[in-house]
Chains A and B, each alone.
Chain A
């Protein structure tokens, strides 16, 4: 589709460059090294990190933020390591995902990928306990992803039936799992949980 110049957002690149990791965006000279080394491109040929950089530079804000491919980056940092221009490509993509999330929260775009839900559910357990709590994460994530409690529970059982049994058999999760009674079932809580609350409050304040 041809670009319509009047729909471009010339400010978009500065918005990205303000964020940690986005600083070197304009140094990109479109060599494609990032895309050539990307393990996702190898599997899904249409996936193209270089294109995200170029579209961002051009100011194609909406196209970039609503592109579902934004959510299949594995954050492996191969692109970052190989970019001859020191563009921190992996971090730029992360900045784009965070801007997209803010826009989605404001109701300006919709995100099809469940990844923001997953990341949020993960972080909620840290906020509450100070450490990752797998069960708590799953109990929040699956119902949200499936849109209902019942469907969520079913999807969770489908994913965990084999895996959970294996963990249980090896004494890693379940009633006797982890380093002692109930450890794998219950959250492992740190003592200074109030500091976690303060940290998350501060980070959220910044994201606004």
Chain B
């Protein structure tokens, strides 16, 4: 593992809907002794709403340039869409000198030389920190039946993927490592959560989320674990709305992988924001504590 300080890019939902993801990510960084600093004055990555790639490149060039200027070798983000946008911008800028010059022309703060590596938190934990290192720091077995949900942008598209497109495994490995049991979930683990359609076609978005929640429930999972705030919003925060609209009951707790790992590292539930998930985690915690 690199000894150097990492840059942390929280992403917009970290300040509101995905507060617990932000809290738990910082808590495990500290517990693992990882030196980190938040990217100074970071801006939004454009999410799925910036459909023009040039706009995405310009927005993310600024964040990459700030990290570079501060001498940070990597930017780690807990959001799948932020990761995708940072990573594709990095690729485009590294290979396209003309684009780099053009962006620099907009404002000098967008001048970037390609020295920073964007990483998704899951990739960072499994491949940079490493399973051996994590194992040495575990203090508790988290014996839960877990449905590992990956969604989009971790295994696809190929240009930025770091896990298998059809059967990703990194989260499964983390869950096994901490004593959890992965329930059969392959049929939906990479299905889209419907998040990008939430505000314009809620009917379709609900049906997409329903499939995932239903599969977890049918597999008798104690919880779904995921690694993206938009997925968290759909499956956790919107779950009561989906239940109401489709007249089904799930009551399926949804945790961020950083929260689950944090428990295994012996961090107090409150310090992992486990009081902030919308579907109550109390019963789940009773099984673990």
Residues of A within 8 A of B (CB): 20-21, 39-40, 43-44, 71-72, 74-78, 80-82, 88, 90-91, 94, 97-98, 113-115, 118-119, 122-123, 126, 130-132, 134, 141, 162-163, 166-167, 170-173, 177-179, 183-184, 188, 190-192, 195-196, 198-200, 202-203, 206-207
Contact B55 A199 (CB under 8 A): yes
Q: Is the interface of B mostly helix, strand, loop or mixed?
A: loop
Q: CA–CA, A20 to B96, complex, Å?
A: 13
A43-B207, A178-B16 given as contacts; is B197 within 8 A of A81 (CB)?
Answer: no
Identify which of residues 213-271 in chain B touch chain A, using a CB-to-CB cut-off of 8 Å: 237-238, 240-241, 244
Majority-rule SS of A interface residues: helix
Which residues 255-289 of B sit at the A interface, judged by CB distance below 8 A? 275-278
A192 and B44 within 8 A (CB) = no
Name the interface residues of B129-169: CB closer than 8 Å to any CB of A: 152-153, 155-158, 161, 165
Enumerate 21 A-B pairs (CB-CB under 8 Å) in ascending A order: A39-B191, A43-B204, A74-B196, A74-B204, A74-B208, A75-B48, A76-B196, A77-B157, A80-B156, A115-B200, A123-B46, A123-B50, A126-B46, A131-B12, A132-B12, A190-B42, A191-B41, A195-B110, A199-B107, A203-B58, A206-B54
A44 to B52, CA, bound (A): 26
**With A172-B16, A190-B42 given, can you name 18 additional A-B contacts, CB distance below 8 Å?**
A43-B204, A77-B152, A78-B156, A80-B156, A94-B51, A118-B49, A119-B49, A141-B199, A163-B237, A166-B278, A170-B276, A173-B17, A178-B16, A179-B15, A199-B107, A199-B110, A202-B58, A203-B54
